[in-house]
């Protein structure tokens, strides 16, 4: 190896080390606002979910990952129902081994920005809620953008809700005690399902559980997020996801009902709600605004805001006391909403 080659190699290594050091410093500034109990090694890895190629990579990795564990005493079965366009919808049904019938039920809609995700990623939360509350929890595998933009995924969720209602008697479910819930994009779809079911006269929904929901595409138009959205789900990822789902770049005007549920003006008549979001989450402002507007419209709503919580922290730092309390609040709200007459009396 020549002297010149060695010098060039040393220079390249030095430049790389400097770039890495600068990247670590930049990342540390983003992680610093997060409380110690919520910090995860994953926060040090940028997640550029803002291109078709990146989404294909995430989907491929997700397909190869083992399913998340299921809570003890809960069994999971796969069910299939017809889609309105002639296709089929897959659902994972989580049921406690010992369940008093008829019980309540929950349709769960997974997150993933409308562009990735599978119901298996929700095994842990679905089975925990099923075990803790003694209910059936059905997680729906809906179509994803950009291959299937709005309203494909929403149609699938509506059809899954209809399947749950239609089969309630056979599954030992009280049709008056069926809730809908979901996290992130699933939370946004939950809000849209509730709005659409209200306008279409059913199926009936007893409660909506919105876990840091993705509600409003206009967040993608903002340039100042006041330090929020630096971790996990960023403004760049959000703009990509909304563009994929809507089929166009987010804009000030979009007259399509249910595409972005945060745009709806009249929120009266919607089911009671629980909304949980973190203080560092990109969706903080739109979620707090939606909760306040629900309250102003006369809809009972519980809003839980966790300081220092970033998007999906309940998954990355699930054992942290703040996240245990976050889940407990969600479970308590669902438990109260889906309790039978005998539970209410007791």
- Alpha helix segments (H runs only) across 77-216: 123-133, 152-166, 168-171, 185-200
Neighbours of 15 (CB within 10 A): 10
Q: Rounded distance, CA 136 to CA 310, Å?
A: 29
Token duo for residue 158 = 């509506």
- The span from the first CA to the last CA of the chain, in angstroms, equals 83
Name which of 41, 58, 43, 46 is nearest 236 in CA terms: 46
- Kindly report the backbone phi and psi dihedral angles of residue 305, in degrees, each rounded to the nearest multiple of 5, phi listed first: -115, 120
Outline where DSSP puts E strands in the chain: 74-82, 88-96, 103-109, 136-141, 173-183, 207-211, 273-278, 301-306
Q: 266: which residues sit within 8 A by CB, 6+ positions away?
A: 297
Q: Are 297 and 262 in contact (CB under 8 A)?
A: no
CA 335 to chain centre: 20
- Kindly report the backbone phi and psi dihedral angles of residue 289, in degrees, each rounded to the nearest multiple of 5, phi listed first: -65, -40
Task: Give the relative orientation of helices 321-338 and 123-133 as an angle to the nearest 10 degrees.
Answer: 50
Q: 225: which residues sit within 8 A by CB, 6+ positions away?
A: 235, 282
- Kindly report the backbone phi and psi dihedral angles of residue 101, in degrees, each rounded to the nearest multiple of 5, phi listed first: -115, 145
Q: Rounded distance, CA 13 to CA 273, Å?
A: 55
Catalytic residues, which ones? 184, 281, 311
């Amino acid at each position: 190896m020549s002297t010149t080659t060695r010098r060039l190699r040393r220079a390249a290594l030095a430049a790389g080390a400097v770039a890495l050091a600068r990247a670590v410093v930049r990342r540390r500034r983003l992680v610093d606002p997060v409380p110690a109990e919520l910090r995860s090694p994953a926060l040090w890895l940028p997640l550029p979910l803002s291109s078709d190629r990146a989404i294909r990579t995430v989907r491929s990795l997700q397909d190869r990952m083992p399913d998340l564990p299921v809570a003890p005493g809960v069994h999971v079965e796969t069910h299939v129902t017809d889609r309105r366009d002639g296709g089929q919808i897959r659902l994972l049904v989580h049921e406690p081994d010992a369940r008093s019938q008829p019980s309540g039920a929950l349709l769960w809609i997974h997150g993933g920005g409308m562009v990735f995700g599978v119901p298996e990623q929700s095994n842990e939360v679905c089975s925990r809620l099923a075990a803790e509350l003694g209910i059936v929890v059905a997680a729906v595998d809906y179509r994803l953008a950009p291959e299937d933009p709005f309203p494909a995924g929403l149609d699938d969720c509506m059809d899954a809700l209809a399947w749950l209602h239609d089969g309630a008697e056979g599954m030992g479910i009280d049709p008056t005690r069926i809730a809908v819930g979901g996290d992130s994009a699933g939370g946004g779809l939950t809000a849209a399902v509730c709005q659409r079911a209200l306008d279409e006269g059913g199926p009936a929904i007893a409660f909506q559980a919105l876990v840091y929901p993705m509600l409003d595409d206009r967040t993608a138009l903002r340039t100042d997020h006041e330090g929020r959205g630096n971790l996990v789900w960023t403004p760049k990822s959000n703009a990509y996801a909304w563009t994929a789902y809507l089929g166009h770049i987010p804009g000030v005007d979009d007259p399509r009902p249910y595409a972005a549920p945060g745009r709806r003006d009249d929120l009266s008549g919607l089911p009671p709600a629980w909304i949980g979001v973190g203080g560092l989450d990109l969706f903080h402002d739109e979620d707090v605004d939606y909760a306040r507007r629900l309250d102003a419209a006369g809809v009972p709503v519980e809003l839980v805001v966790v300081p220092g919580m970033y998007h999906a922290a309940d998954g990355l730092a699930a054992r942290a006391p703040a996240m245990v309390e976050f889940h407990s609040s969600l479970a308590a709200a669902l438990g109260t909403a889906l309790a039978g007459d005998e539970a209410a009396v007791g």
